[in-house]
Structure 1
Amino acid sequence: MTNLNTSAPILVTGATGYIASWVIKNLLEQGHTVHATVRDLNKTHSFQHLTDIAAKSTGNLQLFQANLLEEGAFDAAMQGCEIVLHMASPFVVTNYKDAVKDIIEPAVIGTENVLNSVNRTASVKRVVVTSSIAATYGDAIDILNTANNRFDESHWNTSSSPEHQPYPYSKVAAERKAWEMAKAQNRWDLVCINPALVLGPSLTKNTQSGSVEVLLQFANGMTLAGVPAMWNGIVDVRDVADAHIQAAFNPAAEGRYIISGGTLSLLEMGKILAQHFGRKYPFPRNQLPKFAFKAFGPLLGFSRKFVELNMGYPIYFNAEKSQRELGMHYRNIETSLVEHFQQLIDDGIVKKR
């Protein structure tokens, strides 16, 4: 990649997102000009935290309105930018009506629209896309097909579909679309960031992330009877933000990067929280037998097929490429978990006990 003009503005799509907010904070504090897109400029409460951060930093924040599904919506925000961080994506795992229209199309068409804008914007030299480790595997049982019992950047999710695991399918479909469009031209290069389940402090109470849903289940008693034997790769949100910025500015960065600080089971997560917060909250104390979870899992939105393919298979991720090429030093994921739960209490999302 040719040298970047670090004084050129940097575009961040989906600016109010959990990870994107940290990326923007870091960029502003480093003195950069950030072009940030939001869905609605009239909803000032959704991005007030960003304007507050900008006011205290040496950088400059310019907000633009853009809809993922609208062709050309990102053209104005992209003008003059050499780096584009495409972080906007729908996060819908449950409570959807039509998987294709509600989850898959917004992810794929949104990526296509942003990259079409990149193709029309001559100044852009590098694009960083926020993907997911869900693009590297579909079901936990896939770990049995890995050479070293760890997923790495060479692995792709080939088992998800619009009918089975539509959210992971949307992530791999969107990433594949990005690589397809990157390879069809030679002006800009592409780097994809594939984070594990993201935990750690949020810069706003309005955060919507999958990790919040998991922690709320620990707090509301849903998991008191026990949790399924399932594992998550976990990473601190600040590490994910750092990885995006390293991928943006490091000329040698290329390809995909798994961003993961380690693996914890749901039961291990419950035990860590219980050690810190005591038994004031109904944290899980045991794992459920597979047959039991198969019986009532469908009532919680987990199909029997999902339980069969994901329960009882510990999963691990190889993040050595990110450490070697992006200089990543991962925070302790147990600390991230405790900090995140404490913030939910402080913000009133979890009732203080």
Structure 2
Amino acid sequence: MTNPQQTAPILVTGATGYIASWVIKNLLEQGHTVHATVRNLNKKPSFAHLEKIAAETTGTLKLFKANLLEPHSFDAAMQGCEIVLHMASPFVVNNFKDAVKDIIEPAILGTENVLNSVNKTESVKRVIVTSSIAATYGDAIDIQHTAKNEFDESHWNTTSSETHQPYSYSKVMAERKAWEMQQAQQRWELVCINPALVLGPSLTPNTQSGSVEVLQQFANGMTLLGVPPMWNGIVDVRDVADAHVQAAFNPDAKGRYIISGGTLSLLEMGKILRRNFGAKFPFPRNLLPKAAFKLLGPLAGFSKSFVELNMGYPIYFNAQKSKQDLGMQYRNIETSLVEHFQQLLDDGVVKKYIP
């Protein structure tokens, strides 16, 4: 890639998101002009933290209204930009009525709309798309089909569908759409960032993420009797933001990047939290056997097929490519977990224990 002009604005879609806010903070602190898209310019509290960061840094923030599902919605925000960081995506894992309409179509159509604008905007040279490790595998049992007992960038999720793991399916289909559109032209380059479960402090108490839901369940007693034998790749949100910025400016960055600081089981996460916050919270102490979840799982929303394919299989991720190409040095994921829980306490998202 031709080195981008330091004066050219940089577009970040989905600016109020958990990861996107950190990316914008990094860019503003480096003195860049950031074109940031939000769904509603009248909802000032949702982006007030970004305006505060802009006021305290040498960068410039310009806000634009854009909607993932509206064609041409990103045209104005993209004008003059050489780098586009497409980070906006529907985040609905459980509470949906129609998987296709609520999750899959918006993810694919949103990617298509943003990249159609890229195709019309001659100044754009590089696009960074926030994908997910969910685009590299569908079920934990897939680890058995890897050569070195770890997922890497060569792996693709081939087992999710509209009816089985629809959120993961939306991620892999959106990323495949991005590569399909990139390969149909020759002007702009594409880099995809595939982060693990993201933990760590948020720049706003309004953040929605899968990790918040997990930590809330740990704190509200839902997992007091025990947790299933399940593992997550985990990464600090600040590392994910750094990876996006590195991918944007490093001319050697290419292809996909797994961004993961390591793996923890749900039980290990519970033990770490107990060590740091004491036994007053109902953190999980025990591992519930897979057989129990086969019987009780449907009552808790776990289908029998999900239990069979995802419980009892430790999963690991190879992040070596990100270390080599992007210079990633990952933060300690146990520290990220503790800092995230402390912030949820401070923000009142998790209720403090009252003896």
TM-score range, shorter chain: over 0.9
Q: Distance in 1 between matches of 2:108 and 2:296?
A: 33
Alignment-derived partner of residue 329 in structure 2: 329
Give the total of aligned pairs. Answer: 353
For residues 121-136 of structure 1, what are the structure 2 equivalents within 5 Å? 121-136=121-136
Alignment-derived partner of residue 139 in structure 2: 139
For residues 226-305 of structure 1, what are the structure 2 equivalents within 5 Å? 226-305=226-305
Q: Distance in 1 between matches of 2:315 and 2:223?
A: 21
Q: Distance in 1 between matches of 2:218 and 2:11?
A: 36
Could you tell me which amino acid in structure 1 is paired with residue 14 of structure 2?
G
**2:290 aligned with 1:307, yes or no?**
no
Q: Distance in 2 between matches of 1:16 and 1:299?
A: 35
SS at match of 1:280: coil
Q: Write the deviation string for residues 114-138 of structure 1: whole angstroms up to 9, x where unpaired.
A: 0000000000000000000000000
Is the 2:270–2:283 Cα contact (8 Å) retained in structure 1?
yes
SS at match of 1:279: coil
The Cα shift of 1:300 comes to: 2.0
Q: Over the residues paired in the alignment, what is the CA RMSD in angstroms?
A: 0.5
Alignment-derived partner of residue 93 in structure 2: 93
Alignment-derived partner of residue 176 in structure 1: 176
Could you tell me which amino acid in structure 1 is paired with residue 245 of structure 2?
I
**2:204 aligned with 1:208, yes or no?**
no
The Cα shift of 1:302 comes to: 1.4
- 316-325 or 286-295, which deviates more: 286-295
SS at match of 2:279: helix
Q: Distance in 1 between matches of 2:308 and 2:301?
A: 14
The Cα shift of 1:291 comes to: 1.3
SS at match of 1:84: strand
Q: Distance in 2 between matches of 1:308 and 1:183?
A: 37
The Cα shift of 1:280 comes to: 1.1
Alignment-derived partner of residue 221 in structure 1: 221
The Cα shift of 1:17 comes to: 0.2
Structure 1 gap ranges (5+): none
SS at match of 2:102: helix
- 223-232 or 294-303, which deviates more: 294-303
- What is the TM-score with the length of structure 1 in the denominator? 1.00
Alignment-derived partner of residue 61 in structure 2: 61
Identity across the alignment (%): 82
Could you tell me which amino acid in structure 1 is paired with residue 13 of structure 2?
T
Is the 2:71–2:113 Cα contact (8 Å) retained in structure 1?
yes
SS at match of 1:27: helix
Could you tell me which amino acid in structure 1 is paired with residue 26 of structure 2?
N
SS at match of 2:287: coil
Is the 2:3–2:249 Cα contact (8 Å) retained in structure 1?
no
The Cα shift of 1:98 comes to: 0.2
The Cα shift of 1:347 comes to: 0.3
Q: Distance in 2 between matches of 1:198 and 1:31?
A: 26
Q: Distance in 1 between matches of 2:296 and 2:2?
A: 55
Could you tell me which amino acid in structure 1 is paired with residue 276 of structure 2?
H
Q: Write the deviation string for residues 32-77 of structure 1: whole angstroms up to 9, x where unpaired.
A: 0000000000100111110111110100000000000000000000
Q: Which runs of 4+ in 1 moved over 3 A?
A: none
Structure 2 gap ranges (5+): none
Alignment-derived partner of residue 164 in structure 1: 164
Q: Distance in 1 between matches of 2:145 and 2:292?
A: 27
The Cα shift of 1:6 comes to: 1.5
Q: Distance in 2 between matches of 1:297 and 1:75?
A: 46
The Cα shift of 1:299 comes to: 2.0
Q: Distance in 1 between matches of 2:92 and 2:47?
A: 21
Q: Distance in 2 between matches of 1:336 and 1:300?
A: 28
Alignment-derived partner of residue 2 in structure 2: 2
**2:47 aligned with 1:75, yes or no?**
no
Alignment-derived partner of residue 18 in structure 1: 18
Q: Distance in 1 between matches of 2:154 and 2:56?
A: 41
Q: Distance in 2 between matches of 1:146 and 1:95?
A: 32
